[in-house]
Amino acid sequence: MQPVISHWANGSRGLDVLLNPWVVIFGIAVVFLARILGTLYINNNVNDDTIRTRVRKQLLVIPSYSCSSSTFSSLLLCSARAMR
């Protein structure tokens, strides 16, 4: 039998992290940034014209999301600096 090297601090088994709003904001930012990265990858590496026109339409929609995620990240950096 293996020795126990770690244990949960409380009975929620890590689900209490979902109550932290910054974790949720970071998760949303990661989702939208991954979407942007995937769209840019397809735009640069696929040679089909119909797919590229669809991808370019998506790239026109995405900047509003990236602007909001950059706003969140700048707010997070400012709050992190204020906490120090």
pTM above 0.75, yes or no: no
Cα-atom radius of gyration of the chain, to the nearest Å?
A: 19
Query: Per residue in 22-47, pLDDT tens?
Result: 888 888 889 988 988 888 899 889 89
pLDDT (average), residues 15-23: 85
CA distances from 67 to 18, 22, 52, 61, 76 (A): 24, 17, 23, 11, 14
Among candidate residues 55, 51, 60, 30, the one with its CA nearest the CA of residue 40? 55
